[in-house]
Amino acid sequence: MNHTSIKTLGELKKSGYQPKSVKQELRDNLIAKLRTKEKVFRGIYGYDDTVLPELQRAILSMHNINLLGLRGQAKTRIARLMVDLLDEYIPVLVGSELNEDPLDPITRQSQALIEEQGDATPISWLHRGERYTEKLATPDVSVADLIGDVDPIKAATLKLSYADDRVIHFGLIPRSHRGIFVINELPDLQARIQVSLFNILQEGDIQIRGFKLRLPLDIQFVFTANPEDYTNRGSIITPLKDRIDSQIITHYPASIEIGKAITKQEAHVKKGQDKVFVPELLNDLIEQIAIEGRSSEYVDSKSGVSARLTISALETLISAAERRMIINNEDGASVRITDLWSVIPSITGKVELVYEGEQEGAMIVAQNLIGKALRNRFLEYFPDPESFKKEKGESAYQAITDWFAEGKYVDIYNDMPNTEFSAVLYSVPGLYELVSEKIQTADKATTLLYMEFVLYALAEFSQISRNNVHTKVTFKDLMNSMLGGIDFEDLDDDQ
């Protein structure tokens, strides 16, 4: 149907157009996409075998849906992508507040208009992008906001009695007629407001104050909720839960690869940052930090660790390397392991700590998560430093640790130029040889990255010591570092 050519009700009737509910639209268009093997819900990763099949079954069943999951699990994004399953354009009566179907008007005003003008009644076409409404549930949301209320200004302007239903100002839900309406964080909605949704979900109509108004609204409802909310801030009242046909549980990425795909898609790389190279190892480490957070004894598991943590961390890593590039007036930059400590602000604001975590402090917890990520990813590439102690064999790291045992140390500054960074790492005997043996690469930047990685990991495995200050990291021998603050002359005097 050429929607641009049809301008009146009479032309619409001749075209053979038949009214269709919004849920029928979603069902029909989903069936068409499934038959042609077209990708549904583009940009959603990790849900192909879990959430998306359940969501598709709910749409085929023409259900109202509740997406239940921890923060940062793409609940709102999924709801917004449902718009793509709507018809591209639908006809609406010109001037209708509720985007009414010309062949199925629901308000007295629109019915009177059609009776008066007949087939000459003007129509327009509404794009699917305008058929989506989203509301964040907050304690101050009122019934008037969602359903509607009497508008005294309209009554005065039209010179109507308050008993006339034309004085009603419709809320967000009636204005979403023939579209998708989303309420985010449903448990935050006060119980008395949740009660006002009963009739809409069950009967498809609304009740406003004392009016005998019954509007058969046509809406696809999608709710989102966090399980934490059921106990901490509020709950979905039982009768309302009973009226939501399908509850679909979301989850975090099941693998680092899926997590990386999400982070890379969502991270905003700014203009000029294309000169910054992010090695795959750093992408892995960022995802590993989130994984460690989700299993940490210091982090509230009921709150979860949002994917926004990894997105913010990647953006900060890139900016840290970009800053170093600008300061040193270099043509390009590669993200370093040292830059991981710049993402601490991206961690501390995005994890909810339990009591033990609060006692440790957000900064210490963030550093611990980074340390655990380094340890776990290191074992994917290099032998376990602790295994040599157990087997009493010669350590693969012997040359490195022996050099530090001689009193040598390494300083890596946050803003160290590439040439100095390279010279410092190559000054450590055995470091390049270890990396060249275990990591097959001809790329110098990657080689330097893994050389730096070895130093950080050896510190995490207590083979050498690491001291972080604001502008640099110092690596030393572990024993010398522990004894560095002891004055042996004073000990002799005491004896």
Question: What's the pLDDT band for 483 if we cut at 50, 70, 90?
Answer: low
Q: Rounded CA gap, 490 and 291, in Å? A: 47
CA distances from 117 to 110, 111, 487 (A): 11, 10, 100
DSSP 8-state assignment for residue 336: -
pLDDT digits (tens, 9 = 90+) for 11-51: 999 988 999 999 999 999 999 999 999 999 999 999 999 99
In 3D, which of 324, 318, 336, 316 has the Cα closest to residue 424? 336
Distance CA 145, CA 132 (A): 16
In this prediction the pTM is 0.85
Decide the pairing of beta strands 132-136 and 219-225: unpaired
Is the Cβ–Cβ distance between 101 and 19 less than 8 Å?
yes
* Cα 52 from Cα 31, distance rounded (Å): 14
Nearest Cα residue to 319 out of 266, 263, 366, 273: 273
Quickly state the pLDDT bin for 393 (edges 50, 70, 90).
Answer: low
Of 422, 423, 425, 480, whose CA–CA distance to 456 is shortest? 425
Count the Cβ atoms, other than its own, within 10 Å of residue 21. Answer: 16
Confirm if 407 and 434 have CB atoms less than 8 A apart: no
For residue 491, what pLDDT is reported? 42
Q: How open is the CA angle 58-63-65, to the nearest 5 degrees?
A: 80
Instruction: Tell me which amino acid residue 463 is.
Output: Q
* pLDDT single digits (tens) 230-281: 555 568 888 888 889 999 999 999 999 999 999 999 999 998 899 999 999 9
Segment 125-134 mean pLDDT: 95
As a whole number of angstroms, the longest Cα–Cα distance in the chain is 111
Query: Which run of H or of E encompasses 127?
Result: strand 123-127
- Residue 114 to residue 120: CA distance in whole angstroms: 8
